[in-house]
């Protein structure tokens, strides 16, 4: 079931995190979105259309795969992979993009805007817009466009307009600023399709609910396959959408440990990482892009440059519900370094014939550390958020002759 949680509260807070920190001009648009969302959630026809497209277009339910050779190799917990890599476009992002695009259509907004860093959310937005006949404009920093050319072409092929952003560092945060500006100006005709469990209320809730299909399916599938709940659910955390999508269905299962894995980059003792929960000297609660959460910032509140080998985890803030789950000790967060993720990338490829996204490889890195410490009758469920084809250039550059 989508929805059904008692958080956020009416003001959009998860404990002391979340909320709405936006210019006055955007408040009516957020209210309109919330209202339309609540109406859609109460309408069986909306659920039916979404379920139909999830099944016939996205390819849901995605399978749950028992990773036997990896489990045997590590000699501890039985490891199950939730296969979001097999969803159309090769990652979980389509779940949210499709849900929000349907909402845009329902609201009568034919123009969709999005921002993207690595291009994955731009591709998902362009895909869903093409499917539903919506006009799609994607803001992208010009530096990111040069780094992610294949995704720029994918978006254009699907009829989206990619708008180069040349201000600031010409990367994601500048693209977000431009998208916000566009939304303020064109709010009557335009739907802002936000890509992770971030931003002002109600976005973190909407994204969570559209991604919760991951956990709902996985919970049913693991019970079918093993007759028991997992001991541990594990996922990588960028903005936090695939992780919250997995965790949400298990939040009331007290026996299930929830673990998020952030990008440890060159190590959390350095400042070259994106582990927002790892080092309180360089990360603390603050406000970024409309929401209150943990943010990598310096003493003066300037946002820090982050680093990760995986573009999807390389973001200075984290979804507010994760900050809450951590504060309430319902979930636990750790990190994997670039090197550990690369090793996990190779291990999963060799032992299971599955090349994971570098983001997902961070989750696998934690599996490699943790599974051997668990008993043989325990179960570890890990979300494989995406496939690794998009990362081959990066991996070849780093590993080169070692392959």
Ligand X SMILES: *Cc1c(COP(=O)(O)O)cnc(C)c1O
- Regarding 321 and contact with ligand X (CB under 6 A), the answer is no
Q: What is the CA angle 302-306-310, rounded to 5?
A: 155
- From candidates 22, 74, 79, 91, binder to ligand X by CB under 6 A: 91
93 has catalytic annotation: yes
Could you tell me which stretch among 215-223, 249-257, 336-344, 355-363 binds ligand X (CB under 6 A)?
355-363
Q: Which DSSP string do the residues of 5-55 spell out, in sequence order?
A: ---S-TTSEETTEE-----GGGHHHHHHHHHHHHHHHT-HHHHHHHHHHII
- Regarding 357 and contact with ligand X (CB under 6 A), the answer is yes
- From candidates 12, 199, 202, 238, binder to ligand X by CB under 6 A: 238
Give 397's contacts (C-beta < 8 A, 6+ positions apart): none
- Regarding 222 and contact with ligand X (CB under 6 A), the answer is no
- From candidates 102, 236, 295, 364, binder to ligand X by CB under 6 A: 236
- From candidates 20, 78, 88, 93, binder to ligand X by CB under 6 A: 93
- From candidates 359, 364, 365, 374, binder to ligand X by CB under 6 A: 359
Measured distance CA(100)–CA(193) in Å, rounded: 6
Q: Which DSSP string do the residues of 235-292 spell out, in sequence order?
A: EE-SSSHHHHHHHGGGTT-TTSEEEEEEEEET-TTSS-SB-TTT-TTTEEEEEETTEE
- Regarding 81 and contact with ligand X (CB under 6 A), the answer is no
- Regarding 95 and contact with ligand X (CB under 6 A), the answer is no
- Regarding 263 and contact with ligand X (CB under 6 A), the answer is no
Residues of span 4-43 touching ligand X by CB under 6 A: none
- From candidates 242, 291, 293, 317, binder to ligand X by CB under 6 A: 242
C-beta separation of 380 from 353 below 8 A: no
Residues of span 163-202 touching ligand X by CB under 6 A: 196
Cα Rg of the chain (Å, integer)? 20
Measured distance CA(375)–CA(155) in Å, rounded: 46
- Per CB under 6 A, residues contacting ligand X are 91, 93, 120, 196, 236-243, 312-313, 357, 359-360, 385-386
Could you list the active site residues? Answer: 93, 115, 385
């Amino acid at each position: 079931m989508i929805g059904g949680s008692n958080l956020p509260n009416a003001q959009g807070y998860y404990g002391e995190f979340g909320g709405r920190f936006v210019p006055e001009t955007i408040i009516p648009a957020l209210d309109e979105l919330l209202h339309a969302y609540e109406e859609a959630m109460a309408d069986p026809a909306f659920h039916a259309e979404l379920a139909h497209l999830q099944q016939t277009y996205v390819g849901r339910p995605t399978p749950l795969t028992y990773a036997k050779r990896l489990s045997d190799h590590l000699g501890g917990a039985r490891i199950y992979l939730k296969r979001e890599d097999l969803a159309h476009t090769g990652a979980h992002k389509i779940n949210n993009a499709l849900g929000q695009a349907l909402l845009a259509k329902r609201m009568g907004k034919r123009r969709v805007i999005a921002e993207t860093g690595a291009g994955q959310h731009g591709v998902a937005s362009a895909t869903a817009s093409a499917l539903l006949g919506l006009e799609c404009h994607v803001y992208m920093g010009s530096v990111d466009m040069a780094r992610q050319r294949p995704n720029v072409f994918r978006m254009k092929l699907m009829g989206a307009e990619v708008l180069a952003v040349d201000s600031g560092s010409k990367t994601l945060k500048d693209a977000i600023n431009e998208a916000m500006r566009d939304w303020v100006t064109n709010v009557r005709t335009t739907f802002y399709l936000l890509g992770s469990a971030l931003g002002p209320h109600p976005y973190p809730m909407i994204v969570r609910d559209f991604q919760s299909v991951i956990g709902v399916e996985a919970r049913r599938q693991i019970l079918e396959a093993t007759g028991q709940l997992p001991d541990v659910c594990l996922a990588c955390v960028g903005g936090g959408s695939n992780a919250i999508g997995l965790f949400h269905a298990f939040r009331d299962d007290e026996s299930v440990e929830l673990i998020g894995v952030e990008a440890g980059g060159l190590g959390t003792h350095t400042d070259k990482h994106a582990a927002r929960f790892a080092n309180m000297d360089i990360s603390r609660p603050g406000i970024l892009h409309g929401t209150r959460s943990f943010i990598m910032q310096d003493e003066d509140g300037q946002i820090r440059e982050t680093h990760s080998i995986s573009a999807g985890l390389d973001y200075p803030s984290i979804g507010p519900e994760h900050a809450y789950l951590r504060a309430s000790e319902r979930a636990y967060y750790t990190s994997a370094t670039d090197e550990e993720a690369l090793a996990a990338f190779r291990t999963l490829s060799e032992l299971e014939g599955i090349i994971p996204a570098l983001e997902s490889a961070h989750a696998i890195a934690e599996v490699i550390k943790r599974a051997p410490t668990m008993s043989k009758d325990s179960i570890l469920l890990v979300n494989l958020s995406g496939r690794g084809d998009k990362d081959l250039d990066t991996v070849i550059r780093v590993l080169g002759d070692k392959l």
